[in-house]
């Protein structure tokens, strides 16, 4: 039986890609999609919204109804919609794949609380190679030690609203984990003006925005006499949709819990 997948935010770029990916993937069927409450897309055919042939499935702004008829809900919308989407998925006991970034600490706690009732795959980035990169960064940070300064550089399209990116923060947490520290205690971001010397043990972040860059991330380990850079570049947003759908098919029917892409990929957690 095909897994019924609902997409929150089918009017967005990721939403349209997810619809197309679901339709072309064996074992998956589209349960429906939501659009912004009160928006002009309500009632329009989801297929047309995604730039495809009409499929007789009107878009709705009722996330509760969508969660009730789906086995898995995929959410790449906005942090402001998190509370309603979590509540809908939890009430319907529907699994959730969450790719929304820019969450506050309280929102991350809300995700963890929801995962006690339903299975949740929460990741800053659903590209498989990025998750391999997280493991490499953790290993490098542990092996090289504090003698190597760590700087994280990321660039995204001009429309991105949060900085540093969720992936950059995940890379920072991987590096901090490798050093046995908490990222928030060593994070340096947004340097400007006379900042003084670089703090020992700091993990620095720089965010670039421009054009239509899908996503570029580099982690630089800078020693006194050598540097090593671990990097990743995304050339097509479809890779995120492919990864999210892979997670949706994996999480359907799982026990409640908070999972990540390492679980989906069958990779060992740190």
Domains belonging to the chain, first-starting first, are 3-122+237-265 (3.40.50.720), 128-234 (3.30.360.10)
Q: Is 124 annotated as a binding residue?
A: yes
Per-residue pLDDT, averaged over 122-133, amounts to 92
Ranges 36-40, 59-63, 88-92, 121-125: which has the least confidence: 36-40
pLDDT 10s digits, 8-56: 999 999 999 999 999 999 999 999 999 998 889 999 999 999 999 999 9
Confidence at residue 23, expressed as pLDDT on a 0 to 100 scale: 94
Per-residue pLDDT band for 232 (boundaries 50, 70, 90) equals very high
Confidence at residue 255, expressed as pLDDT on a 0 to 100 scale: 98
Q: Is 175 annotated as a binding residue?
A: no
Rounded-to-integer distance, Cα 172 and Cα 186, Å: 10
| 3-state SS class at 24 | helix
Report whether 90 contacts 231 (CB < 8 A).
no
- Sequence-distant contacts of 107-112: CB under 8 A, at least 24 apart: 107/79, 107/82, 107/83, 110/82, 110/83, 110/86, 111/82, 111/86, 111/258, 112/258
Q: Is 46 annotated as a binding residue?
A: no
Per-residue pLDDT band for 58 (boundaries 50, 70, 90) equals very high
Instruction: Output 223 or 191, whichever has higher pLDDT.
Output: 223
Residue 44 sits at φ, ψ, to 5 deg, of -75, 155
pLDDT 10s digits, 80-113: 999 999 999 999 999 999 999 888 999 999 999 9
Q: Residues with catalytic annotation?
A: 156, 160
Q: Is 11 annotated as a binding residue?
A: yes
| 3-state SS class at 209 | strand
Per-residue pLDDT, averaged over 232-253, amounts to 95
Q: Is 99 annotated as a binding residue?
A: yes
Which residues, at least 6 apart from 257, have a Cβ–Cβ distance to it below 8 Å?
115, 119, 120
Average pLDDT, the chain: 94
């Amino acid at each position: 039986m095909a897994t019924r997948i609902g997409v929150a935010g089918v009017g967005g770029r990721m939403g349209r890609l997810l619809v197309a990916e679901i339709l072309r993937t064996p074992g998956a069927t589209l349960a429906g999609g939501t659009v912004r409450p009160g928006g002009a897309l309500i009632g329009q055919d989801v297929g047309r919204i995604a730039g495809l042939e009409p499929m007789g499935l009107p878009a709705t702004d009722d996330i509760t109804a969508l969660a009730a008829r789906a086995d898995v809900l995929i959410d790449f919308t906005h942090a402001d919609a998190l509370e309603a989407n979590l509540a809908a998925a939890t009430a319907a006991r529907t699994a959730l794949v969450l790719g929304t970034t820019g969450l506050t600490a309280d929102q991350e706690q809300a995700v963890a609380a929801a995962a006690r009732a339903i299975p949740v795959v929460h990741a800053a980035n659903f590209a498989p190679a990025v998750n391999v990169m997280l493991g490499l960064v953790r290993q490098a940070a542990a092996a090289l030690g504090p003698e190597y300064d760590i700087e994280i550089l990321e660039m995204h399209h001009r429309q991105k609203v949060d900085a540093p990116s969720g992936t950059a923060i995940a890379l920072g947490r991987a590096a901090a984990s490798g050093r046995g520290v908490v990222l928030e205690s060593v994070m340096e971001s947004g340097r400007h003006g006379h900042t003084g010397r670089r703090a020992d043990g700091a993990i620095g972040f720089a965010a670039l925005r421009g054009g239509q860059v899908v996503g570029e991330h580099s982690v630089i380990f800078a020693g006194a006499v050598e540097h090593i850079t671990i990097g990743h570049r995304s050339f097509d947003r479809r890779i995120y949709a492919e990864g999210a759908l892979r997670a949706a098919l994996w999480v359907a029917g799982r026990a409640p819990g908070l999972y990540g892409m390492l679980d989906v990929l069958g990779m060992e957690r740190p």
